[in-house]
Structure 1
């Protein structure tokens, strides 16, 4: 009898684990209260040393953070020499980088004609370990409109082996009238939603191999899977971006736009499926391998920018980057560490460590492995790192209704950055704004982003 009871308990536990690890799409209906399993009662001791996700002595630890490499704190008084030294320290704390790929080896998997531009799904080697897929948007040139008028009527994705898809890459470069286009790296957010990545920036489409079985017949199973991705992306865009895909919006205004998946998002996720709880474990395992998962994301962003600069239709001297939330963090990190980037825009991600890791404002955004670079806080805080972008034009917008980033910490971070830009006579190039918005990147924020890019890239 005891054995039967024991087996029953094991079966229930296994079922609970399976349920907890089932990914939930935004497009799916919410689970009713009756279906939600009750949380297990936590065992507690009378004495403790941690509260929530931070130590009880967190305020004492923060007082020991003096940020000795920050501009103004550092003994290096020459700005260029300071930037070189501070950058080197950031890269040192980012741990061993991924090995560079021998070649990009780009392949156009398929394309779709949209209103005034082409959307391409491509593959290339982001590093020596990973061959990734990405979305690339290319504005139509006069040459493209005239020579592919018939093709433009057909918005269905074409197989990458079709020469039209490959020729599309060269249209802008071949057209002397159009010349080369300015370009933008569009960096997706976190949102604790890993099922989609690049699809949060550029509306997805699906190529023949993603819709057909090996025998070339349409697969209903694949069609359903593709529809789930599209529905999920549309739902996410409605929730965070007020119904507008940032990448598509920018390309309609003349920019080549590239968007990739960060490691663990979209088509760079787990074989077993999405499980947000595994992210921290995987990040820990990467550290055991002498690598940092957050740093790999930044290294990939730097690499993707180099790839974008190599494309024939891109003006390599006019590349910017944009993002919201984690995408904003990625944007100012990329701006700080890559000389390819000439202008950056970050919506809803700037703070000081003092305001991020505290209980003064209640449970807000305490960071995590997505922006964890070991040891870096011993030298530089977030605004100090962002200031490595100085004197580039940079736009920062945060929201007074953003529950993740307390306004006092945002103001302190903005003030710290302005000190740096002012010291270089470039304060007019740093635009920091507080809007009465929640954690989001709506239409007005995107319009401001476009105006800022147009002013500084065109």
Structure 2
């Protein structure tokens, strides 16, 4: 005997489909992960992961893709550096300079050069966020050109570095030191903490990002440091604090 099948109307079929859809994960976990995070995790193949072999080959294959993912573009404008002023600090010279950090931005920077015969090892100093924007590069190196900034810089050094300036400590040990301002700090001070969200959103709408722009400028600053006649391009370090 054949068992009879109950036919479902079109509305009933739609209801069953809707109920099935509602059974799928929709919310988030207590750890603020989507309930379907495991399915997303299983989709991750990590095509750029290093899995052994010659690291130089891996670097050559992956670096262009990493740059394309992070940096808004590849800057090519000449640096065209100029000296603004200079002071003698005993074992090194402290210089305030200007150079083209990107194709659009020309910035002031602080450069410390040891006395003696180079080339010297070098350090690029990447300052923190710290919710303080009146100083940037001056968080690493005490300014001699602005009393108000010097007061702020001394407060910062006392708070985080036991009253010392890390850039100066490195210069006294024979390092060429370069410090710049990220967009929104120091000579490039913006409109405060809350305004950074608007700045970041506006940069997205301009085909860039705040993080990507900072990364672009940091790589350019490193390239500028490597080209200086007092610098050994094979011995360059980057020193960062928090955001840096």
Q: Could you tell me the TM-score, scaled by structure 1's length?
A: 0.44
Counterpart residue number, 2:208: 291
Shift of 1:313: 1.2
Counterpart residue number, 1:127: 102
Counterpart residue number, 1:354: none
**Which shifted more, 244-253 or 299-308?**
299-308
Shift of 1:59: 5.5
Contact 1:180 1:314 in 2 (8 A): yes
How big is the alpha-carbon RMSD for the aligned residues of Structure 1 and Structure 2? 2.4
Between structure 1 and structure 2, the one with the greater Rg is 2
Question: 2:57 aligned with 1:81, yes or no?
Answer: yes
Aligned residue pairs: how many? 215
Counterpart residue number, 1:71: 49
Name the SS for the 1:203 alignment partner: coil
In 1, distance between residues paired with 2:151 and 2:164? 14
Q: What is the CA deviation profile of residues 53-79 of structure 1, one whole-angstrom value per residue up to 9, with x for unaligned ones?
A: xx974264764344613535x6x8653
In 1, distance between residues paired with 2:137 and 2:28? 36
Question: 2:100 aligned with 1:183, yes or no?
Answer: no
Q: 1:284 to 1:50 in 2, by over 3 A?
A: farther
In 2, distance between residues paired with 1:71 and 1:89? 12
Q: 1:302 aligns with which of 196, 208, 219?
A: 219
Shift of 1:269: 2.3
Question: 2:75 aligned with 1:99, yes or no?
Answer: yes
In 1, distance between residues paired with 2:45 and 2:98? 40
In 1, distance between residues paired with 2:139 and 2:218? 16
Which structure carries more helix by proportion? 1
Question: 2:166 aligned with 1:246, yes or no?
Answer: yes
Question: 2:187 aligned with 1:267, yes or no?
Answer: yes
Q: What is the CA deviation profile of residues 238-267 of structure 1, one whole-angstrom value per residue up to 9, with x for unaligned ones?
A: 111111101000000001100111121111
Q: 1:191 to 1:86 in 2, by over 3 A?
A: same
Q: 1:62 to 1:50 in 2, by over 3 A?
A: closer
Contact 1:261 1:268 in 2 (8 A): yes
In 1, distance between residues paired with 2:72 and 2:171? 35
Q: 1:232 aligns with which of 135, 152, 171?
A: 152
Name the SS for the 1:58 alignment partner: coil
Shift of 1:202: 0.8
Counterpart residue number, 1:325: 242
Shift of 1:307: 0.8
Contact 2:71 2:213 in 1 (8 A): no
Shift of 1:188: 0.8
Contact 2:71 2:216 in 1 (8 A): no
Name the SS for the 1:121 alignment partner: strand
Q: Which has the higher contact order (CA 8 A, sep 6+)?
A: 2
Shift of 1:86: 3.0
Q: 1:205 aligns with which of 124, 140, 144?
A: 144
Q: 1:117 aligns with which of 79, 85, 92?
A: 92
Counterpart residue number, 1:377: none
Q: 1:77 to 1:316 in 2, by over 3 A?
A: closer
In 2, distance between residues paired with 1:136 and 1:278? 30
Contact 2:28 2:35 in 1 (8 A): no
Shift of 1:297: 0.8
Q: What is the CA deviation profile of residues 179-235 of structure 1, one whole-angstrom value per residue up to 9, with x for unaligned ones?
A: 3111111111111222211001111111xxxxxxxxxxxxxxxxxxx3221111110
In 2, distance between residues paired with 1:266 and 1:250? 21
In 2, distance between residues paired with 1:285 and 1:50? 29
Q: Could you tell me the TM-score, scaled by structure 2's length?
A: 0.79
Unaligned runs of 5+ in 1: 1-48, 142-177, 207-225, 328-458
Q: 1:279 to 1:196 in 2, by over 3 A?
A: same
1:210-221 equivalences under 5 Å are: none
Q: 1:323 to 1:62 in 2, by over 3 A?
A: farther
